[in-house]
Amino acid sequence: MNVRHPLLILCGCAVLAAAFAMGLRQSFGLFLAPMTLDRGWTASGFALAIALQVLVNGLSQPICGQLADRYGARVVLMGGAVLYALGLLGMSLSGGLWVFTAFAGLVMGVAVSAAGMPIINSALTRLLPENMRGRAVGLGTAGSSFGQFLVVPGVQLGIHLAGWQGALFLMAGAALLMLPLALPLNDRVTVRATGAAEETASQALRRAFGSTSFWCLFWGFFVCGVHVSFLTVHLPGFVAYCHLPSYVGAGAISLIGLFNVIGSLTAGELTSKWKRRELLVAIYASRAVLMAVFMMVEKTTASVLAFSAVMGILWLSTVPPTVALCARNFGVRWLGTIFGLVFMGHQIGGFTGAFLGGLIFDLTGSYDLMWVIAIAAGAFAAVVHLPVRDPAPMAVPRPA
């Protein structure tokens, strides 16, 4: 039997599941204006609920990864899809801000962890041979960006046609489409087959926490989170601060999502063919150089859109080599747990980038200092990856 068809189904379902998960999540900002106007809430109260979601996502990601490592990704993804639907329904029916915060922050934070890109990429890494893992993780990451590019406009259309409450109901229905998409991601057989031969979760965690490579990957992904959240939250405001039309800010975010499809696929290919450590060094150094050049040029529509396109290529291209280095250094048995911990660093960085950008603007009336911090952070991330070990496949030590 030709094995290409099962692999195509596996990768296709993973890409679509990642697209739904990321696209629905990235649409929440569209509800700020209509919900606050209709409910009489403050913008800061709405934003706090979404910021709480980012933190809960980061803190619960290792737990969801541990569950996926023990019981298989399919079960966790299906549970996440159900939580997604419940969280969206709760958001639509919330009459008070605290109830909305509970559903949007707590329930959705866990749902995003259970049905998000880290779980999907960990499953693909376990299910596929070594020579296909980088490409598959690149596809999963690109699927997330494609969801941002495609689903967000669909949600905006839903708000226009059905109102914000009707749009949330439609999103809840769309979340349930992840249930059948999770069916091929059955890595439970792989989990059982490797469980007896490899180390326990506590042994794997002790080895990771005692490894310089783990902490280098953690702090590097922290910087990635700072960059991603700072630009996602504040780039439209920076564009307005530069007296450019509002559509330029929206176009910039859309371009980042579109070009990240190219960047993720390219990073996935390079992860299989090039040194993953050197790839991460190049990506973070390129980000620092790009932001430095952007700060020195005149801010026009063309320069902003050109910056966004190039930044999109570098946006989540860090994911495939980071996942690969976690797998090569610590094995695939507890990959969901260990990459979940590294991803927690990303989300803590994301909260830091979003909050610090706003704080600096409030204190100084400008984003200049935040751009300098972001450039310095990119240089730091490039350097911090230099000590990371990049061993050959299956070169992971097993306990005596």
- Is residue 77 within 8 A of residue 120, CB to CB? The reply is yes
Summarised one tens digit per residue, pLDDT across range 98-142 is 999 999 989 999 999 999 888 888 888 778 776 776 777 777 777
- With CA atoms as reference, report the closest residue to 39 among 232, 168, 175: 168
H or E, element range at 360 = helix 335-364
Which CA distances in Å does 174 have to 81, 104, 171? Answer: 9, 17, 5
CA dist 143 and 301 (Å) reads 28
Question: Does this chain's domain 9-187 share its CATH topology with 203-392?
Answer: yes
The domain spans of the chain are: 9-187, 203-392
Q: Which residues contact 56 (CB under 8 A, 6 or more apart)?
A: 105, 106, 108, 109, 110, 113
pTM (2 decimals)?
0.75
Contact criterion met (CB below 8 Å) for 302 and 355? no
Computed over every residue of the chain, the mean pLDDT equals: 84
Integer angstrom CA distances of residue 188 from 59, 200, 237, 333: 24, 16, 45, 11
Query: pLDDT-based confidence at 294, cuts 50/70/90?
Result: very high
pLDDT, tens only, 311-361: 999 988 898 899 889 888 888 788 878 888 998 899 889 888 878 888 888
Shortest CA distance to 76 belongs to which of 109, 110, 106? 110
With beta carbons less than 8 A apart as the criterion, state whether 194 and 314 touch.
no
SS3 of residue 366 by DSSP: coil
pLDDT at 288: 97
Average pLDDT over residues 277-287: 95
Share of the chain above pLDDT 70, in %: 92
Q: Which residue has the higher pLDDT, 395 or 360?
A: 360
Q: What is the reported pLDDT for 372?
A: 96
- Enumerate residues 6+ apart whose C-beta is below 8 A from 368: 295
Q: Which of 62-76, 250-264, 286-300 is the least confident region? A: 250-264
Distance, CA of 364 to CA of 71 (rounded, Å): 50
- What homologous superfamily is domain 9-187 in, according to CATH? MFS general substrate transporter like domains (1.20.1250.20)
Determine which of 209-213, 227-231, 350-354 has the lowest per-residue pLDDT on average: 350-354
DSSP string, 12-32: HHHHHHHHHHHHHHTTGGGGH
Q: Between residues 149 and 268, which one has the greater pLDDT?
A: 268
Is the pLDDT higher at 293 or at 139?
Answer: 293
For the stretch 11-27, pLDDT in tens is 888 888 988 888 888 77
CA-CA-CA-CA torsion sign (390, 121, 257, 56): negative
Backbone torsion region of residue 392, taken as left when φ is above 0, otherwise alpha when ψ lies between -120 and 50, otherwise beta: beta
249 or 109, which is more confident: 109
Q: Which residue has the higher pLDDT, 87 or 45?
A: 87
- Stretch 257-286: mean pLDDT, rounded? 88
Would you say 179 and 81 are in contact if contact means Cβ atoms under 8 Å apart?
Answer: yes
Q: Which amino acid is at 145?
A: S
Residue 35 phi, psi (nearest 5): -75, -45
Residue 240's pLDDT is 79
Inter-residue contact 119 to 80 (CB < 8 Å): yes
pLDDT at position 393:
59
Going by C-alpha positions, the residue among 346, 394, 341, 69 that lies closest to residue 205 is: 341
Of 198-207, 291-300, 324-333, the range with the lowest mean pLDDT is 198-207
Give per-residue pLDDT as tens, 148-178: 777 877 887 888 899 999 999 999 999 999 9
pLDDT at 53: 86
**What was the pLDDT predicted at 395?**
44
Backbone angles phi, psi at 396, to 5 degrees: -95, 125
- Residue 399's pLDDT is 40
CATH superfamily of 203-392: MFS general substrate transporter like domains (1.20.1250.20)
Question: Please, what is the end-to-end C-alpha distance for the chain in angstroms?
Answer: 40
What CA–CA distance (Å, rounded) separates 197 from 211? Answer: 21
- Between 2 and 54, whose confidence is greater? 54
pLDDT at residue 47, rounded to an integer = 72
What would the mean pLDDT of 202-217 be, rounded to a whole number? 90
Percent of the chain with pLDDT over 90: 34
Q: What is the pLDDT of residues 134-153, one digit of tens each?
A: 777 777 777 777 777 778 77
Whole-angstrom distance, CA of residue 382 vs CA of residue 282:
7
pLDDT score at 253: 78
Q: What is the reported pLDDT for 31?
A: 82
Q: Which two tokens stand for residue 14?
A: 């993973």
Q: What is the pLDDT of residue 195?
A: 47
- Residue 152 near residue 30 (C-beta atoms within 8 A): yes
Under DSSP, the state recorded for 333 is: T
* The predicted structure's pLDDT at residue 5: 59
